[in-house]
Amino acid sequence: MKKFTRVLAVVLALCCVACMFSACGSSKDENVIVFGTNAEFPPFESVVANGVVSSADGTQQYDGIDMAIAVKIAENNGKTAVINNIEFDSLLVALQNGQLDACIAGMTITEDRMKEVDFSIPYYTATQVMIVKEGSDIKTAQDMADKKIAVVQGYTGQTVVEGLGFEFTAFKKGTECVLELVNGKCDVVVIDSATAQKYVADNAGLVIVEDATAFEAEEYGIAVKKGNTELLDMINKEIEAMLADGTISSLAVQYTEAE
């Protein structure tokens, strides 16, 4: 009897562990696509009161270009999009772990990232820019040499500044970088163009400085776990259609003009 109880306990425990693991897997519900993002990146993804998509538990809502794209990809395939909002640095690991089905996060397609995940065809072209205070003497990327530079941890902006060989401080969020700049604690923020425009629009006294020689074009793609060709094909088909019929460019206009 005692032994039976013990065996039962072990079996129950194993069941629990199995359940836990399957709950971790994102693909348990065939009708849901779990998109991972880091919703600190307007106009692509932000946490809002009333958005176009929500977290799995419905407690958080999101809006932005990427969020609208995710919804369309899911809906056009008879599925529901849900958002898992996590740190930007953790997105690719979460994808590899099966915690996410896809990752849509204004994420630049880079060779390093391509070693870890598979990317869709590009859906948006961006570039790094510098945000400075009006009247700053920073006119080119080289002018940052002796300045205090702020970047966001893990963003391509950090990689680019590293490539230039300059010192920098990395922050968790773009808004933290901008606050440093506004408060005079740094001289320049290096971040993606559309997001920079949003920050400049929201904060008086800031301007954007571009340097097309130092900052190359970057292309955003949606990432899936390596080898998930079924989902990738579906995503690529949708992106192709949305590029062809102007959906993505009108979303870009809509979300950059908002507010």
Task: Give the footprint of ligand ARG on this chain (CB under 6 A).
Answer: 37-38, 40-41, 45, 88, 105-108, 155-156, 192
Least separation in angstroms between CB 259 and ligand ARG: 18
Residues in contact with 25: Cβ distance below 8 Å, sequence separation at least 6, in sequence order: 98, 99
CB-nearer residue toward ligand ARG: 108 or 120:
108
CB-nearer residue toward ligand ARG: 51 or 106:
106
CB-nearer residue toward ligand ARG: 87 or 241:
87
Burial class (CB in 10 A: 0-12, 13-18, 19+), 21: exposed
* CA dist 178 → 6, 42, 57, 165, 244 (Å): 59, 13, 31, 22, 35
CB-nearer residue toward ligand ARG: 85 or 203:
85
Rounded to the nearest 10°, the torsion over CA 194, 177, 38, 104 is: 30
Place of tokens 């955003």: 220
- Cα–Cα dist 72/86, whole Å: 21
Instruction: Give, for 117, the enclosing helix (H) or strand (E).
Output: strand 117-119
The CA-based diameter of the chain, rounded to the nearest angstrom, is 83
CB-nearer residue toward ligand ARG: 84 or 108:
108
Place of tokens 């990327």: 141
- Cα–Cα dist 114/98, whole Å: 17
For residue 86, the SS3 value is coil
Q: By C-alpha distance, which of 81, 96, 42, 89 is closest to 258?
A: 42
> Cis (ω within 30 of 0) for the bond into 42?
no
Least separation in angstroms between CB 207 and ligand ARG: 21
Least separation in angstroms between CB 151 and ligand ARG: 10
Least separation in angstroms between CB 172 and ligand ARG: 10
CB-nearer residue toward ligand ARG: 160 or 206:
160
CB-nearer residue toward ligand ARG: 129 or 234:
129
Least separation in angstroms between CB 14 and ligand ARG: 38
Least separation in angstroms between CB 255 and ligand ARG: 13
Least separation in angstroms between CB 215 and ligand ARG: 12
